[in-house]
Amino acid sequence: MSDNDQEVVVEEIEMEEPQVEETEESVEVAEGEIDTGLTKALDTYRKLIESNELTEVEQSALEKRIKEIESREIIERDQAHEAQEIPVEKNKISIGPPTLTRFEKARIMGARALQLSLGAPPFIAIPETARTSLDIAMEELDKKVIPIIIRRVLPNGDFQNIPIDYFQ
């Protein structure tokens, strides 16, 4: 057996490490890391206070800030929020701009052009200037005859379903 063969065997053995399941101890370590970061920040504030570069007013303000930080409740996980629909009243769009964004327009025109190219009937008379299905889709969007609803979603999951004819 040559030296190269032995190296290959060693590499294969190293790759076959057992997978470690997450235990309560590893979770506690993660929580300890958060506390370590907090203590480091507080130590930095304390070092600033100990240095003679700050006035008494600034030192008292920093001490007050340290007490405020220590008294804060650390939130590790936000409580679950159930997504709710925000009702739409006529001409009142509460999420986003009152007009279609360029991304919404592109998505609508692309989807509609695909439908038209696959044989869907157009909602308008085909204009003489239309050369492609995209031209027809743009004309349909301008006339707001496409039966589509835009869903705008907030970061917390709340959403608003807006019919296309509500946009300006």
DSSP 112-146: HHHHHHTTPPPSSPPPTT--SHHHHHHHHHHHT-S
Task: Kindly tell me the number of DSSP H helices and DSSP E strands found in the chain.
Answer: 5, 2
- How far, in Å, CA of 139 to CA of 126, rounded? 9
Among residues 8, 10, 167, the alpha carbon closest in space to that of 93 is found at 167
End-to-end CA distance of the chain: 79
Residue 98 vs residue 1, higher pLDDT = 98
Taking only the tens place, the pLDDT of each residue in 76-123 is 666 788 889 988 887 788 888 989 999 999 999 999 999 999 999 999
Residue 54 vs residue 132, higher pLDDT = 132
The pLDDT of residue 47 is 82
116: how many CB neighbours lie within 10 A of its CB? 21
Q: Which secondary structure element, helix H or strand E, spans residue 81, and what is its range?
A: none
Between 1.10.760.10, 2.60.40.420, 3.90.940.10, 3.40.50.2000, what CATH number should domain 102-166 receive? 3.90.940.10
The pLDDT of residue 23 is 44
The pLDDT of residue 34 is 53
Taking only the tens place, the pLDDT of each residue in 6-56 is 444 444 444 444 444 444 444 444 444 456 777 888 888 888 778 777 788
Is 0.95 surpassed by the pTM of this model? no
Two tokens, residue 163 = 């019919």
The pLDDT of residue 35 is 66
The pLDDT of residue 18 is 43
In one letter, which amino acid is 79?
Answer: Q
The pLDDT of residue 19 is 47
Q: Can you give the residue ranges of every domain in the chain?
A: 3-71, 102-166
The beta strands (E) that lie in the chain are given as 149-153, 159-163
The pLDDT of residue 111 is 95
